[in-house]
A and B are shown apart, each in its own frame.
Chain A
């Protein structure tokens, strides 16, 4: 990468951070409420609670990453096969159409009854959320693949596997990463609700526990940690998307 654009980019992020922190500071000063500590207080609390926070952060990160992997790993092949088969698509499109708009998070109570309070219900719930988002995006992307690309591989004597390998999979890569990048926000929201509702691990629990203890700075440290988790995952997918789709 060129140096100029890179520096400009870093400058852009630096400005954004300053802007957000300043806004936060002003809001905190204006509200003057213990529920919204200033950035300075938060940094202090964050440093104090770092040791306690790290295991909670790791648990949450583990859950959301495993779920993203499972959801994607299931959605991509199903979407590829369905979108390329008229019969399967006719069969599953209505099912998908009906299930997609259901907020999967309402299934949480059922999952808690069935799977207990540990990792399983959270991972299943987030995987489900991710699964549908990726499924729909990839299905649409497969259908947008120009027929001429498939024909050109066939003209070269390519097998069905070659059509996947050289056309369907690379052509839908951008859709996978775009849907993951956008899906990270939803996934973390679902994670928060799941952890807040049940169990005694993860950042969601940490935040709600601090809230009930009326320890607002500690609560805010948890919120910052959760935000950080989102930002890091988003940045990773953004980077992967750019690297893998330079041809666009």
Chain B
């Protein structure tokens, strides 16, 4: 398949939340460029602003400083071609698996029969064929993860943003879902940004691993991961070595002195 991922640029992007009483700086002077088709993992201390970064890329938040560009233009509102899988997966319990998978298309005004056709194909792609009429509560945790992924696939996204999508499943299932994510990414060539707490997941799924500092988030390391996706990568010595490198960078990001009260 042709390379058709989106190009994301953060140019000196910053974000301050203000609610009249308090000012909270979530992000400071963040500059990153993710080239089309790249898979990037974001890792950093809890509450450091990784999710905020994802929401900026999704167009759900606007930066208060600098710019966030997707394919060269600022993202003022959610793009048609961006799919975001939130941490809780965003499945609607009152919709069947098929309706959940089709939701993005329905909202984008695709006709119902076509939306359901595409959704059914996406369900099959993630191994959920036969579960079209199941309710989310009837699906296991891993199946729900697949369903959330199917929704993104049905939309034919060129940018897939994931906020710790695999945090709720056990280790073995997690690895099989990581394999699925990797396969789909290689097959489709979309750009992806994955927020994760797991160092192994970051090293397995990120061609680049961006390590964030604690809040306000800044980039402390941008680690290239050239062997990502090669056969046997997860079991190689280099994989373990890179995990250690990320772990060291992460430890640095926790060091005091990085915190700054918003001015």
Contacts and interface: CB of A to CB of B under 8 A. Distances in A.
A157 B135 contact: no
Contact of A149 (B92, B106, B135): B92
A156 B94 contact: no
A148 B78 contact: no
Given A246-B135, A247-B135, A152 B90 contact: yes
B184 to A, nearest CB: 19
A150 B89 CA distance: 12
A242 to B, nearest CB: 14
Nearest to B86: A152
> Binding site of B, secondary structure by majority: helix, strand, loop or mixed?
loop
B171 interface: no
A143 B92 CA distance: 16
Interface in A166-201: 166-167, 170-171, 173
Contacts of B135: 246-247
A14 interface: no
A170 B106 CA distance: 16
B92 A151 contact: no
Interface residues of A, number: 20
Given A148-B86, A247-B135, A155 B78 contact: yes
B103 interface: yes
Contacts of A162: 107
A155 B58 contact: yes
A151 B194 CA distance: 18
Contacts of B91: 152
Interface residues of B, number: 26
A154 B137 contact: no
4 nearest interchain CB pairs? A152-B90, A157-B78, A170-B94, A155-B84
Contacts of A152: 86, 89-92
Contacts of A148: 86, 88, 90
A39 interface: no
A155 B82 CA distance: 9
A157 B108 CA distance: 8
Contacts of B60: 151, 154-155
Contacts of B86: 148, 151-152, 155
Nearest to A147: B88
Interface in B66-104: 77-80, 84, 86, 88-96, 103-104
Nearest to A152: B90
A157 B77 contact: yes
Contacts of A167: 92
Contacts of B77: 157
Nearest to A162: B107
Nearest to A154: B60
> Binding site of A, secondary structure by majority: helix, strand, loop or mixed?
helix
16 contacts: A149-B92, A151-B60, A151-B86, A153-B92, A155-B86, A156-B78, A156-B84, A157-B77, A157-B78, A157-B79, A158-B107, A171-B94, A245-B94, A246-B135, A247-B95, A248-B137
A166 B84 contact: no
Contact of A153 (B88, B96, B107, B155): B107
A93 B91 CA distance: 31
A157 B135 CA distance: 23
Contacts of B79: 157
A149 B93 CA distance: 9
Contacts of A151: 60, 86, 90
A73 to B, nearest CB: 21
Given A170-B94, A247-B95, A156 B137 contact: no
A151 B106 CA distance: 16
Contacts of B89: 152
Nearest to B90: A152
A174 to B, nearest CB: 9
Given A154-B60, A157-B78, A247 B93 contact: yes
Contacts of A155: 58, 60, 78, 84, 86, 90
A192 B175 CA distance: 65
Given A149-B92, A157-B77, A247-B96, 11 more contacts: A151-B86, A152-B90, A155-B84, A155-B86, A157-B79, A166-B103, A166-B107, A171-B94, A247-B93, A247-B94, A247-B135
Contacts of B90: 148-149, 151-153, 155
A197 B137 CA distance: 50
A163 to B, nearest CB: 10
Contacts of B108: 156-157
